[in-house]
Amino acid sequence: MQGITIPIRKDLDRLEEFFSSALGSGVDFADSAIELIIQNGGKRIRPVIFLLSAHLCGSSSSDNYRTAAAIEMIHAASLLHDDVLDDASIRRGSMVVRKRFGNRTSIVVGDYLWSKGISLIIRENNIDLLNASSCAVERLVAGQLLEMSNCNKVDMEVETYMKVVEKKTASLFAMSAEMGAIVGGIQGSHREVLYKYGTEIGIAYQLCDDLLDYIGGESTLGKSSGQDLRRGIMTYPLIVTLERANRCERDIIIEGFLSECPPDDMFRNICSIMDRYGGIAATRELISKTCFSAKEMIEKFKPSIERDALASLADLVMDSIQ
C-alpha cells in the first residue's frame, strides 16, 4: 500500500491530522468510541481511491483531505451499525465499539460520524458531491436490507448475491472514485469510467472478504472465521459449491448453514467440500476477473503515476487472497 500512496502522501497526512484534532463531540465516552473506530488501524482504502482519482483528474487541492475525511467517516459509520447488526465482537483484531461501550453508543456514534461526514461534504458547496454521497448511502443501506431479506435462504442466486455486494460494499468504493472525478471537474465518460472502476474494486474487495471468511486464519481476518455461515449469510463460494455438490454433500452444507452454531468440525467439513467442488477456485477466478476489469477501466486514462497507483491497488486486492 505504501508505494501506491506516494502521490497523495501530503493529503493523507492532512487527513490524519484532521482526525486527531477535529472529531470531538464534547462527550467523553463518545469521543473514546470515535477514536476507537477512526484511529484503530483502518486501511483508508476509500480515501486513497478518492485522492488518487482526484489527482488523476487534475485536482490536487490541499482541501481534498476534507472530502477524504467525510468518505472515511461515512465508512466508519457503516461499520459501527454493521457491528450491531452482526453482534460482532472483534474488528481489526480489537474489541468493537459495541462491546466496549454498548450497542446504543455504536449506533448513535455511527449517526454522529455519518451526519458530520455529510456536513463536511455540504461545506464543499458542490451539489454533485452531495448527490454522489447521498446516492451511495442510499444504495449501501438498500444493499444491507437486501442481504437481510435473504438471510438463511439456501437457494439465494448468484445474481442476488452480486446485487447485494454491488450495493452494500461497492457503492462506497464507486462513490470515492467518482468524487475524485467530480472535484477534478470531469464529467461524462471518464467520470463513469471511475465510477465503474470503483464498483469493480468494491466487488472484488467483498469477494475477498467472503472467501477469507472460509479460508483465512484468525490472524489474517482480525476476527474468527466462519462468521457468514454462522449468521446464515450466503456468499459466492458457498453458492457455487451448492450448485455443484451432490445431494448428500448439499445436505451437509444446508445443515451447517441453517444451524444456530455449527460445530468447528462441521465448518471444516464444509470448507473441504467447498475446496473439492472448486468453490474456492471459482471465487479466486472471479476476483481476478473483476480486478482485471478494474485495471482495463483505468487504462482509459492517459498514463500517469496516479493511474499506475490505481491499477496497483487492483493488484493488491487480488494478491490479498493468494
Question: What are 271's three cell numbers?
Answer: 470448507
Instruction: Please report how close the Cβ of residue 272 comes to ligand GRG at its closest, in angstroms.
Output: 25
- Residue 206 vs 241, nearer CB to ligand GRG: 206
259 neighbors 290 (Cβ within 8 angstroms): no
- Between CA 83 and CA 97 the distance in angstroms is 8
Count of beta carbons in the 10 Å neighbourhood of residue 89 = 13
Whether the CB-CB separation of 235 and 226 falls below 8 Å is answered with no
- The residue (of 105 and 169) whose beta carbon lies closer to ligand GRG is 169
Do residues 65 and 191 make contact, with C-beta atoms less than 8 angstroms apart?
no
Minimum CB separation from ligand GRG for residue 155, in Å? 23
Minimum gap (Å) between residue 91 Cβ and ligand GRG: 7
Task: Give whichever of 14 and 81 is closer to ligand GRG, judged by the CB atom.
Answer: 81
Sites of contact with ligand GRG (CB under 6 A) = 42-43, 45, 74, 77-79, 81-82, 85, 92, 110, 114, 137, 140-141, 144, 168-169, 206, 209
Question: For ligand GRG, which is the closer residue by CB, 132 or 137?
Answer: 137
For the bound state, the minimum distance from the C-beta of residue 140 to ligand GRG, rounded and expressed in Å, comes to 5
- C-alpha radius of gyration, the chain, whole number: 20
Q: Is 318 left (phi over 0), alpha (psi -120 to 50) or beta?
A: alpha
Residue 69 or 137: the one with the smaller Cβ distance to ligand GRG is 137
Find residue 95's DSSP bridge partners. 90
Query: Cβ of residue 137: shortest distance to ligand GRG, in angstroms?
Result: 5
